Structure 1
Amino acid sequence: MIANPNTNGISPEEYLAEEELSPIKHEYINGQVYAIAGASDTHVTIAGNLFALLRNYIRGTGCRVYMSDMKAHIETANTFYYPDVMVTCDARDKALVNHKKYPCLIVEVLSESTEAFDRGDKFANYQQLPTLQEYVLINQKRQRLECFCRNAEGLWVLHTYTQGSEIHLTSIDFRTSIDSLYEDVTFGI
């Protein structure tokens, strides 16, 4: 996922201006810019399935769902990431055309090269978003979804879903079978 750091730090404004013109996507972490590698068929299928399910579910609610081309801005961490799927229901995000600052749900599909980062520093940065209620990690090697939910005390509680489970994303009160999420995915290829 992350490769080719730019050794000269740039401002968030410079990053956003350059990213608009770039033929490849980059994430921005505290002044450093990192190119993002492409994704596997399984990765794209899982993210696409979830996006389609969420898009149909939230239609007409005022919420918006985004897939991989919309940046999440964590201002307190001076960071911009491209989550695989992101939902925002905050009206303040409507004025932001190339990034969102107030998501309630962020989803990352894990890959071998990104898993440690997605579970570690990236999650730590996402936790700084006061509107974020759920952070979801989806395994692409087997049917397994880990959902970290922020409870009333501000603690992150893990809910794990495996084969045969019904997934419940409480931030938007969305339910679906795990089989729907993994539709058209063949494991072991």
Structure 2
Amino acid sequence: MIAAKENLPIFTPEEYFAWEEKQLEKHELIDGRVYLLGQVDAMTGGSVNHSRIAVRLTTIFDRHVDPSGCITGNSDLRINLLGTNDYTYPDVSVTCDDRDQTTTQYIRYPCLIVEVLSPSTEAYDRGGKFRRYRQNPALIDYLLVSSTSVAIDLYHKNDGGDWLILNYKAGDMIALKSINLSFPIEQIYRGLNLTEMLPVD
């Protein structure tokens, strides 16, 4: 997450929506300040993988939940962090809450959020962003997906309200209780170039 220009004012949500419509890039709103979404580090070659992984997950989820009336969102769908005036753009989200059927610019009650990791965003996605997301009682699964290796971390909230972390690798089945879906991890990574590019000295 990169801070936008220092001279920008503190925004209300309404001012933020109007301002962002005129921007070329997406911004998150945190504590009244706008932040440019973190960009995938070009040195990793991860931008193509990032996009393909996000598209695959969006497609898998949408096909599974659409008949039930749930909504699957891609990186263009904002989430309003419940109880705040903060707004973020996860890579993929799913909500099955009726209260999200009537909103037009954001959702508030996702049961599943996915962030595809990149070097420029991983620390924030695992730390500050997750701390904000998990304040929402509707959230059950938070999926962090590597774009450089076959590796997925699932933060799952159990029936007791405790967050457990499950680490998935090649050959594993991903199990998402939030939407009652299981699928092989290879379904996400098939055909991707996972060779990590090293910086040139």
Q: Shorter-chain TM-score: which interval?
A: over 0.9
Distance 1:142 1:3, change over 3 A: same
Q: How far apart, CA to CA, are the structure 2 residues paired with 1:122 and 1:113?
A: 13
Q: Are 1:71 and 1:98, in contact at CA under 8 Å, matched by a contact in 2?
A: yes
Query: Which residue number corresponds to residue 48 of structure 1?
Result: 55
Q: Are 2:39 and 2:121, in contact at CA under 8 Å, matched by a contact in 1?
A: no
- Whether 2:126 is the aligned partner of 1:119: answer yes
Distance 1:123 1:37, change over 3 A: closer
Q: Are 1:6 and 1:33, in contact at CA under 8 Å, matched by a contact in 2?
A: no
Q: Which 4+ residue blocks in structure 1 deviate beyond 6 angstroms?
A: none
Q: CA deviation at 1:6?
A: 4.5
- Alignment length (residue pairs): 189
Q: CA deviation at 1:183?
A: 2.3
Query: Which residue number corresponds to residue 22 of structure 2?
Result: 21
CA RMSD of aligned residues (A): 1.5
Q: What is the 5 A alignment of 1:138-153?
A: 138-153=145-160
Q: CA deviation at 1:22?
A: 2.5
- Whether 2:16 is the aligned partner of 1:9: answer no
Q: How far apart, CA to CA, are the structure 2 residues paired with 1:184 and 1:24?
A: 29
What are the Cα deviations for residues 6-60 of structure 1, in whole angstroms up to 9, with x where unaligned?
4521112211222233322100101110122555001001111111111111121
Distance 1:114 1:5, change over 3 A: farther
Query: Which residue number corresponds to residue 87 of structure 1?
Result: 94
Q: Are 1:71 and 1:83, in contact at CA under 8 Å, matched by a contact in 2?
A: yes
TM-score under structure 2 length normalisation: 0.89
Q: 3-state SS of the aligned residue for 1:176? A: strand
Q: Are 1:71 and 1:100, in contact at CA under 8 Å, matched by a contact in 2?
A: yes
What are the Cα deviations for residues 91-144 of structure 1, in whole angstroms up to 9, with x where unaligned?
110111111001000000010010000011100000111111111100111111
Tell me, which stretches of 5 or more residues in structure 2 are unaligned?
A: 41-46
Query: Which residue number corresponds to residue 44 of structure 2?
Result: none
Q: Are 2:143 and 2:152, in contact at CA under 8 Å, matched by a contact in 1?
A: yes
Percent identity over the alignment? Answer: 39
> Please, which of 105, 108, 123 is the counterpart of residue 98 of structure 1?
105
> Please, which of 79, 84, 88 is the counterpart of residue 72 of structure 1?
79
Tell me, which stretches of 5 or more residues in structure 1 are unaligned?
A: none
Q: 3-state SS of the aligned residue for 2:53? A: helix
Distance 1:103 1:51, change over 3 A: same
TM-score under structure 1 length normalisation: 0.94
- Whether 2:182 is the aligned partner of 1:181: answer no
Q: Which amino acid aligns with 2:75?
A: S
Q: Which amino acid aligns with 1:161?
A: Y
What are the Cα deviations for residues 47-100 of structure 1, in whole angstroms up to 9, with x where unaligned?
111111111111211111011000011033431110000000011101111110
